[in-house]
Amino acid sequence: MYKQQIKSQIANYLGIQPHQVTLFWKGRVGLFAILDALDIKALDEVILPAYTCVVVPNAIIYKKAIPVYADINAETFNIDVSDIEQKITSRTKLIIAQNTYGLSSDIDELQKIAQKHNLHLIEDCTHGFAGTYKSKQNGTIASASFFSSQWNKTFSTGIGGFVVANDEQLVSKLNEFESKMEKPSIIETRLLHSQIAIKNRLPEFAYWSAVKTYRKLNSIKLIPGSSSNDELISPIMPDGYLKGMSEMQAKTGIGEIKKIKSNLDHRREIAKMYDRAIMEMGGTQLFQPTYANHTFIKYPLLVKNRTTFMEKAVIDQIPLNDWFLSPIHPITKDFEKWNYNMGSNPTAEYISNHVVNLLTEISIEKATKTIQFLRKNQSEIIFE
């Protein structure tokens, strides 16, 4: 019942039909479903940005395909269109366009490349729900797109994700795939429900202690988290990966999706505060191309020494985030397991070595304290 309601609400927001939406336990499962529907096979190559989460190449490798990483644009943090064609081979079948931090990639330019080489193009909208590209909703232009509805996205089901397909053949395949999904266990849904309740009551001052506790409990599998340890150790599909969304998640999302406008308005206001402060310190505001409307899931900032900067933030109780601390976050070693060669994408590697994320879902008061922290540590910020 709730799953049909959330499908209808998502579809209504995006201006599509409910049957174009399929629901999953996590967004990465939706990506796997798309790859399956597109008939991606062993040794096929998939081009994606070298500034992503490991769960994206994982899904590709689970299909026995090969992730091929393109560098990113230093202004947009999205895939560098000029780097893609040199990565295309006779085995390339698909390009993934990521909405990094909520900013759409340049879809028109990517479609030109895809059409020229007879490739599929899909959107990674895990950061991008409710943003737009040339006045069109993110995820409604390419053949298909996958979204995340995890904790800090524009609307949340705790953990979760969904897929939007814009091709009727894909729509049919994805609905069939969804119908075969394993259901989350009662224990999993109850634990997730408890986490949601705790998070909703968590005061801002408890941010760092909550992050530490959450990561510890997730690492020993006591609570369902964004990524399991199995996904971070090796690109082998863990048990229980292929699950659909629970009714509890959908019910949570129904309440959350109604808050999207106020959520986005708030995030954009916080981003403007950061823009003004950084310009006052001698930097430039975060780049926004004319073709896209940013959702500011996070506000990226480059610093000279991230470890030191984050340590100071913990001491001052300033909430920060570290997306993406490597080209395939959060992996920091054994990159070859994911077919990544260190040194192959210099812009992505430089940014991932220096980026921290300012939070945008926080209160005006906490954002003001964050800005005070930035001013106090201004010498640590990279202004380019």
Token pair listed for 321: 């985030």
- Please tell me the total count of domains within the chain: 2
| Coil vs helix vs strand at 119 | coil
pLDDT at 203: 72
pLDDT at 210: 58
Distance CA 257, CA 383 (A): 36
pLDDT at 217: 57
Ranges of beta strands (E only) in 75-143 are 92-98, 120-125, 132-133, 136-137
**pLDDT tens digits for 180-237?**
999 998 888 888 877 766 766 667 666 656 566 655 655 555 556 566 788 999 899 9
Q: How deeply is 14 buried, as exposed, middle or buried, from its count of CB atoms within 10 A (0-12, 13-18, 19+)? A: buried
Distance CA 166, CA 55 (A): 23
Same domain, 150 and 287: no
pTM: 0.94
Phi, psi of 7 (to 5 degrees): -60, -45
What is the enclosing helix (H) or strand (E) of 111?
Answer: helix 107-116
Domain range for 267 is 260-380
- 41 belongs to a structural domain: yes
pLDDT at 207: 67
Same domain, 41 and 166: yes
Same domain, 175 and 267: no
Which segments of 281-345 does DSSP mark as H helices, in order? 306-315
Distance CA 371, CA 341 (A): 37
pLDDT at 211: 62
User: Which residues fall within 8 angstroms of residue 215, CB to CB, at 6 or more apart?
Assistant: 225
- 16 belongs to a structural domain: yes
Q: Residue 70 sits in a domain of what CATH number? A: 3.40.640.10
- 188 belongs to a structural domain: no
- The amino acid present at 138, given as its one-letter code, is N
Question: Which residue in the block uniquely carries the two structure tokens 């193009």?
Answer: 121
Please choose, from the candidates 81, 83, 166, the residue with its C-alpha nearest in 3D space to the C-alpha of residue 122: 166
The low-confidence residues of the chain, meaning pLDDT below 50, are none
Same domain, 151 and 10: yes
Please choose, from the candidates 104, 158, 159, 144, the residue with its C-alpha nearest in 3D space to the C-alpha of residue 127: 104
Q: Residue 273 sits in a domain of what CATH number? A: 3.90.1150.10
Q: Tally Cβ neighbours within 10 Å of residue 19.
A: 14
User: How many residues would you count in the chain?
Assistant: 384
- 212 belongs to a structural domain: no
pLDDT at 152: 83
